[in-house]
Structure 1
Amino acid sequence: MYEHSSTHPADTTTPTDQTARTTRRRPPFRRTVWRRVLPTVAAAGIGVTGFAGLAHGSDVGSATTGGQSAATTERAHSVRPAAAADFPTWGTRWVVHATADTGSPAVGMINKTAPGQDRITADYQVDTGRKVCEGSSCSTFMAHLTGPVSGFLSVVAVDIAQDRLPDVPVQGGGQPQPQPGGSRGEMLNRAATWLTANNGAQVPYSQAKVWKDGYRQDCSGYVSMALGLPTPGTNTVGLATDRGITRPISLDELKPGDLLIDASGDNNTRHVVIFEKWNDDAHTSYTAYEQRGDHGTDHRTLTYGLPGGDAEFKPYRPVTFGD
């Protein structure tokens, strides 16, 4: 069910115990409502972008829409325009992110009432395929800012009537494609692309098929894609044993982008998931990206490898992170 096997490439048997396993025009009232809400949000120290969306796909307390994880990253090969266009902003405490992913680290803040921050300049925008919403206004686009802060900002923060910046080039267009190497955040961005790559839906699971990007549609093909390994991807055993790809670590060492792997048994029992974050201080569960049978790409709460969970799963660190 879970991973490709060189000896059983088309086996799609499923173990029964593992099968559980949106052009916007702002209405007249929109700014009035949010200008009243924003001071409260600011006072609470909460970024507006974070206020809008929650992580999606989790089985426990999750929301399946919103903008926590816009699934993309800046691509080095992109040709950027020489000049940037400027646009007015609205509201306060808009988080500017390191990548076109509202789950990526903050690199600054845009506040319309602050000196020099009533306008932004942007040289390109990215269609992430995943909506960020504030009230009734939504956009899937993230703008790459050149000022007053460098980074990525949701187009919802810009005081325009469209869901994208007019006359600003769209980088790549459509769904972002994964690129090899990079940081932990970039790996998670690539993992998130498969959540909506199938015309807004998750990539379906298959041990025999490959997706449009050339990667096998099982768990290890998915992780190979996220890591930027050669297509169609290695298998689960290779992810666990090839020291050019991973090394063993302890559970306490887990960081975003690390892996939990069950490399025992056969292609119907072996599995691998991508660790994103702990869900509590006691480390009783975590949120992970996963390509699973009878569902496809998922982003949910798991306990694989934890006390009381499936003990066959062991933690590993991709060596590409360099730590």
Structure 2
Amino acid sequence: MYEHSSTHPADTTPPVHRAAPTRQKNSPFRRSVLRTFLPAVAAAGIGVAGFAGPAHGSEAGSAAAAGGHSATATKLSRDSSVTGSARTGSVKQAAAADFPTWGTRWTVHATADADSSAVGMINKTAPGQDRITADYQADTGHKVCEGSTCSTFMAHLTGPVSGFLSVVAVDIPQDRLPGVPVQAGGGQPQPGGSRQEMLHRAATWLTANNGAQVPYSQAKVWKDGYRQDCSGYASMALGLPTPGTNTVGLATNRHLTRPLSLGELKPGDLLIDAAGDNNTRHVVIFEKWNNDAHSSYTAYEQRGDHGTGHRTLTYGLPGDDAEFKPYRPVKFGD
């Protein structure tokens, strides 16, 4: 058994119940003003702990600390004029790929679309309860607003929940995450990115199961939200939206890959057998040639009856399975 035949299996996205939005009173300071003003104050050495700004709602238990307003909104509104209740704190410089959040009950979505299904929530009970980590962000071209603060960017989270979160929820003065790669087209890979980063992500599944490899499954998803079959694994390594595309999509979608010759293979390229059905199709991630004769190579793969592996292969080479063809992820830009 190699791969699941569906791009989006019906049972891979856990349901999250959304509470009905509650109207909030306008804060005397809009977040967009604070984004401009507070960094300047901090740079001047003036304390900012006493300044308050809006939050994306607050739970009843924290209403008093947040200015007395309560809210149970779980979904970001588009071009909304609603502002949140007060928040306090100091301005922090975000570390690379790690950022503070603000407000409460921000929805994490399955795809880079604020209307896609929910897969989790940030700051469930208190403002700024969670910090998020992100490996890339997508310029969706679709504006999401909270009060007077808007952004078209959705961040692809790697923690504490795997999925997509509006950058409006992140406590930074910009409308996008600084220092985080941008992928346009709603999360489709674009030129740029590192082959070594891709191989590093592929290697994480070798020990992600409490020191062991991630087990194979066409029906299940791993903790990071990706299907546990070969194409789900390749999608994870490429940083595609969860739960991952299928093998046919990896081979035929020219926004994802392009064909190339065997002699052009570089680390991070793919060898794909897209023929047949989900019991015969397969994809592996090329790492390196094992010799100057190119008679074998080392690759990462997710295979049935084993799970994640890193081994010598000959798929697609002369005299072996000719159904395997080489492809290059377009995100590498070459």
**TM-score normalised by length of structure 2:** 0.47
Tell which structure's C-alpha radius of gyration is larger.
Answer: 2
Larger relative contact order (C-alpha < 8 A, sep ≥ 6)? 1
